[in-house]
């Protein structure tokens, strides 16, 4: 992916640039909000990562200006703020995701991949398929190898999120945010418990594992290869 980064802290910018480049992305970083905005408008990008507080122009205003100019490039906010209401402000300004510093690198990578262009094209689908697993979004039915699997509403949301990001890594935090609407870190194994229950339901009759645990990163749903 071609990613534009607006971040004034040189060390953080290097850390992000180096890591994402290793992941195979092409990165260009700007330390100034205005320069960044100018470049976003001038070229085609797959993703923009913006720090909330950068010189020149506040990150929030950069994104507002972007959305005003009808630029639809996905935006990931980075912030050291993490205060009450900051996340909502960021999303209201037109950001697509919000990551609070300090963050684990795996978290950033997972979110960058989740925000990639391709993920947004499947939104209109009515049936999600991964291997022999099928989810009908209209009648909310899930089948594996044509056998119906009854799911609780929360389990359905969890599986839907995993299927929409099939083949990609989703972190625990991403699941908490999108499936539970939890914007904090629970002290108990909320995600793990629900994942293991979902697995148990999906893997009846010795069926091969679909939800894979990526150590230190999160989970990934993909068909057995």
Distance of closest approach, residue 83 Cβ to another protein, in angstroms: 5
Residue 48 near residue 3, CB atoms below 8 Å: yes
Compute the least distance from the CB of residue 161 to another protein, in Å: 15
The candidate with the shortest Cα–Cα distance to 216, out of 107, 115, 112, 108, is 107
When asked if residue 200 is in the footprint of another protein (CB under 8 A), the reply is no
Residues 117, 46: contact at Cβ < 8 Å? yes
Residue 67: helix, strand or coil by DSSP?
Answer: helix
Q: Which stretch binds another protein (CB under 8 A): 64-72, 97-105, 122-130, 137-145?
A: 97-105
Q: Is 88 in the site for another protein (CB under 8 A)?
A: yes
State in angstroms the smallest separation of the CB of 53 from another protein.
Answer: 15
Beta strands in 15-64 (DSSP E): 26-30, 47-51
Interface residue with another protein among 42, 102, 121, 205 (CB under 8 A) is 102
User: Can residue 157 be called a binding residue for another protein (CB under 8 A)?
Assistant: no
* Long-range CB contact pairs, 176-183, < 8 A, 24+: 179/154, 180/154, 183/87
Interface residue list for another protein (CB under 8 A): 82-85, 87-88, 100, 102, 104, 152-154, 180-190, 193-194, 197, 216
């Amino acid at each position: 992916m071609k990613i534009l980064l607006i971040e004034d802290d040189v060390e953080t910018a290097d850390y992000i640039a180096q890591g994402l480049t290793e992941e195979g992305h092409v990165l260009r970083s700007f330390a100034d909000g205005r320069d960044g905005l100018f470049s976003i408008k001038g070229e085609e990008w797959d993703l923009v990562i913006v720090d909330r507080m950068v010189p020149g122009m506040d990150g929030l205003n950069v994104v507002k200006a972007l959305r005003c100019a009808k630029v639809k490039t996905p935006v990931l906010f980075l912030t050291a703020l993490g205060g009450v209401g900051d996340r909502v402000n960021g999303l209201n300004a037109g950001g697509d995701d919000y990551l609070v510093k300090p963050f684990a690198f795996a978290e950033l990578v997972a979110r960058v991949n989740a925000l990639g262009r391709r993920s947004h094209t499947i939104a209109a689908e009515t049936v999600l398929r991964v291997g022999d697993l099928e989810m009908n979004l209209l009648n909310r039915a899930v089948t594996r190898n044509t056998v119906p699997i009854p799911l609780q509403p929360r389990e359905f949301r969890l599986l839907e999120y995993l299927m929409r990001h099939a083949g990609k890594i989703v972190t625990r935090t991403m699941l908490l945010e999108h499936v539970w609407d939890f914007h904090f870190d629970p002290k108990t194994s909320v995600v793990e418990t629900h994942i293991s229950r979902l697995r148990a339901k999906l893997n009846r009759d010795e069926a091969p594992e679909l939800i894979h645990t990526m150590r230190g990163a999160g989970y990934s749903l993909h068909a057995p290869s």
